[in-house]
Amino acid sequence: MTTHLDTEKIHSIQTNLDRPVVLTGMMGTGKSHIGKLLADALDLPFYDSDQVIEKRGGISINEIFELYGEEKFRESECKTILDLLDNRACIIATGGGALTTPDVLKGVKDKSHSIWLKTDIPTLIRRVEKNKNRPLLKEKDPEQILRTLYTARAPLYEQMHFHLDTSSSDANAVLESIIDYLVSSIN
Ligand code: S3P
């Protein structure tokens, strides 16, 4: 994977990056997949906020929603992401609804290079149908829920520093775009 990437650019990011890179966007946009690839390419730590919440609490995201509800989940999510933002250079993938918490939105905007991974709704639906681990999509019509969430969240995602379409599954092209963005914003 890394062999296609420009080693000079990688080196420049490794030398100059002084804050986390945050990937955000709707469920199914590839935040965790791209985040891991980016972290590998840059040889930086990778954190998926959902996984950190699960590990810290010894409980799955599904169980948190079932037992305590979304509000409690958002509290843990906020605390976790604010802690992660205190790291120096690293890659963080947030859950898709994280920016709905005002403190998270502010923290991400102020303390990271923030990236919105955008994917068209039909592609999102195809991707999330395969995975049953998303509590917000369990009931009713997942397509309608995704559309409603997208409409509500788009103004939050819009506030991220860099916007990138991930509707095609060309991960290498996505990585190259992120690397170019990082090079231009750290120099
Ligand atoms: C959520 C997205 C999920 C997870 C939780 C809530 C959301 O993360 O945080 O199920 O509100 O969109 P992914 O975006 O990684 O699926």
SS3 labels along 133-157: CCHHHCCCCHHHHHHHHHHHHHHHH
Is the pLDDT at 3 greater than 70, yes or no? no
**Residue among 134, 136, 137, 153 to mutate when testing ligand 1 (max atoms within 8 A of CB):** 134
Cα(48) to centroid(ligand 1), Å: 11
pLDDT at position 2, please? 44
What is the distance in A from the centroid of ligand 1 to the CA of 133?
A: 9
The H or E element containing residue 117 is: strand 113-118
Residue-wise pLDDT for 125-140, tens only, equals 888 877 767 877 777 7
pTM exceeds cut of 0.75: yes
Determine the average pLDDT of the residues in 170-174: 92
Averaged pLDDT, 139-147 = 83
Least confident of 54-63, 77-86, 139-148: 139-148
Q: What is the pLDDT of residues 97-112, one digit of tens each?
A: 999 999 999 999 999 9
- Reported as a pLDDT band with limits 50, 70 and 90, residue 75 is very high
Smallest CA-to-CA distance from 31 within 17, 50, 16 is with 50
Q: Name residues whose C-beta falls within 8 Å of residue 74's C-beta, 6 or more positions apart in sequence.
A: 97, 100, 101
Is 50 exceeded by the pLDDT of residue 38? yes
Query: Rounded to 5, what percent of the chain is helix, strand, coil?
Result: 60, 10, 30
Return the residue whose CA atom lies nearest to atom 3 of ligand 1.
95
Q: Exposed (0-12), middle (13-18) or buried (19+): which is 55, by Cβ within 10 Å?
A: exposed
Q: How many angstroms separate the most distant Cα atoms in the chain?
A: 49
